Structure 1
Amino acid sequence: MPAHADAAPPVQALVSYLEHEAQPMIVMDPDYNILAANTAYQRQFGTADRPYLGHKCYRVSHHYDVPCDQAGEHCPMKRAFELKGPDRVLHIHHTPRGPEHVDVELRPILGADGQVVAYVERLTTVRHASARASQAGLVGRSPAFNSALEAVQRVARSELPVLLQGESGTGKELFARAVHEASDRREGPLVVVDCSGLPETLFESELFGHEKGAFTGAQHRKPGLVETAAGGTLFLDEIGDVPLGMQVKLLRLIESGTFRRVGATETQQADFRLVAATHKPLQQMVADGSFRQDLYYRIAAFPIFLPPLRERADDIPLLVDSFLQRGGKAAQRLVIQPAAMARLQAHDWPGNIRELRNVLERARLFADDGIVRPEHLPEWLHAPRQVLAPTAASPAVPEPAADAEICRLVAEGRLSRREMAEQLGLSERTFYRRLKALGLS
């Protein structure tokens, strides 16, 4: 295995260990120099024209001239040095294939005197999201997108229930699929249940199945979606729309891990990982009595807040390129004029990614020469933004959207109450009232 000639003795002792690891791994000294790399790293990240041994990790991975923290990013080496323990972060690395999301886990190696003598870094490429234009799946590289993706990476390998919260059109089903594909259940099915599309009379039968003769029209036994999800993931989309009468049965399923088909007497064991999603403010619904508090606490073990597109303006060109690649033949691939792109980036996108996709599909029909121009975009998209002065009676951010944003900011814990209120365009008093209504005060 290649190693830097000046590698310290503890580093040399790690070399043979790294070779047994299937994941790409490197060893670095406290001055950010890469001292050694296993075969998996060489195969995935190294090429003849990409030297890395003896080079700074931030130059190789990010093309930075300074360490990550000095370039405005989280530096796991700095954090690991402070903690004298491991640190983990999601970064975008430059690779032979282009920019990619990489889950970085870094551990310090301590000498006999307790001082850090080297670091071991494990790199896991995130396969279910792309930092480049892509014809399928999650696409993005903005800080807000990366924060949500990092949360997915954190929770995926556990069995904790995940609650995806965000406005309509933010890609909740794609994030649910990302949780599934990064989990140990990825070989099993991902079963999607649209809770908003099921009337209460059919909800129980669809979810749990039914026996022959259980009700009029039940001419044969039918397995439910819970059975279908065995060994995989059950995704309850728009769980905020589940009727109160069904919420208690859903709670029993989650708590006991058992269920009964409609018309059956025997109990069956469930085997699924739960992911739920909603655009509704569930904590406010709990306060209003329209959503069970005990069910909320069961499904919200690990909430992930999905950012609206207006917080991902830097991702719009990437998303546009992705959508223009999709839905057409290679010979009909479209390009977009800079003036048209500027229009798209100036819009607030209340319908989020779904709205952007629809606008581009419409533009495709007018771009006969393969070029999307400003005149191919809807007239309403050209109107300037209307910015209303925030007041206590009329917050700058619509209330449902503000609730999701408040929850995200509180979960991040980076800002004071006053700073969060200012970011949302609310008075501090109005912001405090929203905190109380959401049970976050």
Structure 2
Amino acid sequence: MTSSLPPPNGPHPDQVQSLVSFLEHEADPMIVLDPEYNILAANTAYQRQFGSVDKPFIGHKCYQISHHYDVPCDQAGEHCPMKKAQELRGPDRVLHIHHTPRGPEHVEVELRPILDAKGVITAYVERLKLVRSASARPSNEGLVGSSPAFNLALSELQRVAPSMLPVLLLGESGTGKELFARAVHETSERAAGPFVVVDCSGLTETLFESELFGHEKGAFTGATTRKPGLVETAQGGTLFLDEIGDVPLAMQVKLLRLIESGTYRRVGSVETLHANFRLIAATHKPLEKMMEKGEFRQDLYYRISAFPIQLPPLRHRIEDIGLLANSFLQRVGPGKRRLTIEVDALTQLQRFAWPGNVRELRNVLERASLFADDGVIRSVHLPAAPASISPQISTPPPFNGGTLVDVLATFKGTRSELAKHMGISERTLYRRLKEQGLA
């Protein structure tokens, strides 16, 4: 355990020492903060995961160490758990991206205030937990992103994954619903069990029932053997119903019965079987409008939508395009050449509207790679004017120092309003202000 004497307005040294002794037995990384954001102590787990010999952290501000900010998180466009805990006088939990010895990483932060006998907050205890279901750096697999829109969806995923609540993933086609579903599974207590995908689109009523519940030998023409269904395959794990909006109405009744009772029968059988799975569903269709038209059962909707998560389209996470592009270029098979992308080409990608979302981005890069004979993707290798380009949805050109100074001199709104005016996140605005010495 590393610690130092607190400043005059911090907690009493005996209180710090008591916290030090307690935190040292915790497996998760934990630190003690005073009300002025100074790090007073850290347990061994924190030193092991976040500490650095070259960069001491005791006595430094938490936002300097974790974010490299010069001001608290809320002043840099982030959710600050300390400020929220002060307001609530209780714990607060948030997902942040921290600078670590390994680079930027998603970290789940839980902060609890310590109150004295008079009810005055004298210190805070912060628990940090690495989020392993997504990467804030280019990665060969899994979810990748660091934009506010992506982090919001990831934060909701982290909340619901440890429970058994059904999850409904909503979003446009190509937003990565199956990757999110797999991340929910791998973050849950059922991670060691099977993850079974049911593609509901294109299945007829008879075929859907047979695929889901299985069938007995002779149940119908062509059923030469008994076949276990996907519900049975998912025992002890997770069942992912992709494009659930395509399930025929007649089958929705049987699906509802499965979810409510946890029982089902194979096609052609009278034996009742018991299901044991965690349910995740996904769709790009507007289920609520479908209910109004009688195309989707209301009772089924409320069963599957206990915890809906809206996945953002790629046009709402422009900051992630570089991460995603470099991740796709890393995901090449053995013996294939290493690919890179020029800055101008990346800027061009950031100006597309991407109606096909992440899937479309991957396809564009795969096509471009066929023309990159020297291993470098350039603007000329990208479609000049694809149908996905939309003049209404594009990122503004980068601001140079003079332009940003002029904007600051003439804009009379808040920092949040300025970020919206510029078409960037408040965090990105703060970073640009800091880079140009204007923060």
- TM, length-normalised to structure 1: 0.85
Distance in structure 1 (CA, Å) of the matches to 2:197 and 2:270: 26
Give matches, 1:198-213, under 5 Å.
198-213=203-218
Tell me if 1:297 matches 2:302: yes
Distance in structure 2 (CA, Å) of the matches to 1:219 and 1:382: 48
Give matches, 1:145-184, under 5 Å.
145-184=150-189
Distance in structure 2 (CA, Å) of the matches to 1:102 and 1:198: 40
Query: How far is 1:55 from its partner?
Result: 1.2
Query: How far is 1:338 from its partner?
Result: 2.1
Match of 1:191 among 187, 191, 196: 196
In structure 2, the CA distance between the partners of 1:8 and 1:83, relative to structure 1 (3 Å rule), is farther
Tell me if 1:101 matches 2:137: no
* 2:135 match: 130
Distance in structure 2 (CA, Å) of the matches to 1:101 and 1:110: 29
Tell me if 1:3 matches 2:3: yes
In structure 2, the CA distance between the partners of 1:212 and 1:385, relative to structure 1 (3 Å rule), is closer
Distance in structure 2 (CA, Å) of the matches to 1:383 and 1:273: 36
Deviates further, 64-73 or 377-386: 377-386
Distance in structure 2 (CA, Å) of the matches to 1:326 and 1:133: 10
* 2:70 match: 65
3-state secondary structure, aligned to 2:385: helix
Distance in structure 2 (CA, Å) of the matches to 1:34 and 1:152: 29
Measured against aligned partners, the alpha-carbon deviations of 1:153-179 in whole angstroms (never above 9, x if no partner) come to: 011111110000000000000000111
Match of 1:116 among 121, 124, 141: 121
Contact 2:354 2:389 in 1 (8 A): no
Distance in structure 2 (CA, Å) of the matches to 1:91 and 1:360: 29
* 1:231 match: 236
Question: What are structure 1's unaligned runs of at least 5 residues?
Answer: 389-418, 424-441
Contact 2:234 2:276 in 1 (8 A): yes
Give matches, 1:256-275, under 5 Å.
256-275=261-280
Structure with more helix by fraction: 1
Measured against aligned partners, the alpha-carbon deviations of 1:272-300 in whole angstroms (never above 9, x if no partner) come to: 11000000000000001000000000001
* 1:251 match: 256
- TM, length-normalised to structure 2: 0.86
Distance in structure 2 (CA, Å) of the matches to 1:29 and 1:151: 29
Give matches, 1:335-346, under 5 Å.
335-346=340-351
* 1:31 match: 36
Contact 2:353 2:388 in 1 (8 A): no
Measured against aligned partners, the alpha-carbon deviations of 1:102-159 in whole angstroms (never above 9, x if no partner) come to: 0111111111111111111111111110101111111110100001000100111111
Distance in structure 2 (CA, Å) of the matches to 1:164 and 1:279: 9
* 2:427 match: none
Distance in structure 2 (CA, Å) of the matches to 1:9 and 1:253: 57
Distance in structure 1 (CA, Å) of the matches to 2:192 and 2:354: 36
Contact 1:310 1:349 in 2 (8 A): yes
Contact 1:343 1:382 in 2 (8 A): no
* 1:222 match: 227
Superposition CA RMSD, Å? 1.9
Query: How far is 1:8 from its partner?
Result: 3.4
Distance in structure 2 (CA, Å) of the matches to 1:257 and 1:385: 47
3-state secondary structure, aligned to 2:266: coil
* 1:400 match: none
Give matches, 1:45-56, under 5 Å.
45-56=50-61
In structure 2, the CA distance between the partners of 1:330 and 1:213, relative to structure 1 (3 Å rule), is closer
Contact 2:200 2:246 in 1 (8 A): yes
In structure 2, the CA distance between the partners of 1:308 and 1:382, relative to structure 1 (3 Å rule), is closer
Measured against aligned partners, the alpha-carbon deviations of 1:295-318 in whole angstroms (never above 9, x if no partner) come to: 000001111000000111111111
Distance in structure 2 (CA, Å) of the matches to 1:263 and 1:8: 73
Distance in structure 2 (CA, Å) of the matches to 1:37 and 1:185: 32
Query: How far is 1:25 from its partner?
Result: 1.0
Contact 1:163 1:302 in 2 (8 A): yes
Tell me if 1:369 matches 2:374: yes
Give matches, 1:311-390, under 5 Å.
311-329=316-334, 332-381=337-386, 385-387=390-392
Distance in structure 1 (CA, Å) of the matches to 2:325 and 2:282: 25
Distance in structure 2 (CA, Å) of the matches to 1:332 and 1:283: 47
Query: How far is 1:384 from its partner?
Result: 6.2
Contact 1:108 1:119 in 2 (8 A): yes
Contact 2:353 2:389 in 1 (8 A): no
Contact 2:354 2:388 in 1 (8 A): no
3-state secondary structure, aligned to 1:108: strand
Distance in structure 2 (CA, Å) of the matches to 1:3 and 1:254: 52
Measured against aligned partners, the alpha-carbon deviations of 1:385-404 in whole angstroms (never above 9, x if no partner) come to: 3449xxxxxxxxxxxxxxxx
Count matched residues.
391
Query: How far is 1:380 from its partner?
Result: 2.9
What amino acid is aligned across from residue 79 of structure 1 in structure 2? Answer: K
Query: How far is 1:257 from its partner?
Result: 1.1
In structure 2, the CA distance between the partners of 1:263 and 1:385, relative to structure 1 (3 Å rule), is closer
Contact 1:343 1:381 in 2 (8 A): no
Percent identical residues: 72
3-state secondary structure, aligned to 2:174: coil
Measured against aligned partners, the alpha-carbon deviations of 1:171-223 in whole angstroms (never above 9, x if no partner) come to: 00000011111111111111010000422211111111112222222222221
